[in-house]
Chain A
Amino acid sequence: DAGVIQSPRHEVTEMGQEVTLRCKPISGHNSLFWYRQTMMRGLELLIYFNNNVPIDDSGMPEDRFSAKMPNASFSTLKIQPSEPRDSAVYFCASSYHWGDNYEQYFGPGTRLTVT
């Protein structure tokens, strides 16, 4: 299996621009998670989906952030408009949640820089 795929790996954009991050989970997994990692705040869960349905978006920082999962093999995280404080590494993770199995597999991340 190719693992969780994220694109782009690096994104540099100017303040005010729209940014879209993409994630392809591992085939067969039924849960998908978006995280943000910064030095100041560590690893934060932004939102997670189960069977393509958003279950918990309490970590989404504000209305400028939105996430979609139109099907089981694709998800996007959009920031519009972007701000310098959004600069971070964004990780996507997926898991097959069944019984006691909560193991998450992480993608390589997208490093976002907003200037």
Chain B
Amino acid sequence: AQSVTQLGSHVSVSEGALVLLRCNYSSSVPPYLFWYVQYPNQGLQLLLKYTTGATLVKGINGFEAEFKKSETSFHLTKPSAHMSDAAEYFCAVTYTGKLIFGQGTTLQVKP
């Protein structure tokens, strides 16, 4: 069965600092992996996705994630946090079309 674990329900960083949001997945077959962002009172927006090919995936707003099969991880990073990055972030996995979401990580950015 597929599952997703996001380590840390809340992450706080200072503006300009590195952002690291952790995601580990469990899947018996090669997964497709996604990161979504949700701003307050809005729907989810796709940040980036991994299907096949290059394991380092670049997304919108300067975010990127690296698929590490040996570690079953797909952590999201951004070199320098901006105040506008404050939001909730969801990692998701699928290979059937049905997305399995993690519980979400709220990113707080302090000035």
Q: Are B32 and A106 in contact (CB under 8 A)?
A: no
Q: Are A102 and B94 in contact (CB under 8 A)?
A: yes
Q: Are B45 and A56 in contact (CB under 8 A)?
A: no
Residue B111 at the A interface, CB < 8 A?
no
A100-B51, A100-B52, A102-B32 given; A108·B99 CB < 8 A: no
A91-B43, A91-B44 given; A104·B103 CB < 8 A: no
For chain B residues 17-57, which have a beta carbon within 8 Å of chain A? 32, 34, 36, 42-46, 49, 51-52
What is the minimal beta-carbon distance from B35 to any residue of chain A, in angstroms? Answer: 12
Among A14-22, A43-51, A63-71, the stretch in contact with B: A43-51
- Chain A residues with CB under 8 Å of B49's CB are 103
- Chain B residues with CB under 8 Å of A56's CB are 98
Nearest neighbor of A100 in chain B, beta-carbon distance: B51
Residue A25 at the B interface, CB < 8 A?
no
- Chain A residues with CB under 8 Å of B34's CB are 102-103
Q: Are A106 and B43 in contact (CB under 8 A)?
A: yes
Main secondary structure of the interface of A (DSSP, over half): strand
Q: Are B97 and A97 in contact (CB under 8 A)?
A: yes
Q: Are A108 and B42 in contact (CB under 8 A)?
A: yes
What is the minimal beta-carbon distance from B18 to any residue of chain A, in angstroms? Answer: 26
- In the assembled complex, the Cα of A101 lies from the Cα of B50 at a distance in Å of 10
Q: Are B94 and A106 in contact (CB under 8 A)?
A: no
Q: Are B45 and A106 in contact (CB under 8 A)?
A: yes
Interface residues, chain A, CB within 8 Å of chain B? 4, 31, 33, 42-43, 45, 48, 50, 56, 91, 93, 95, 97, 100-109
Q: 6 closest Cβ contacts across the A-B interface?
A: A106-B43, A100-B51, A106-B44, A43-B101, A42-B103, A108-B43
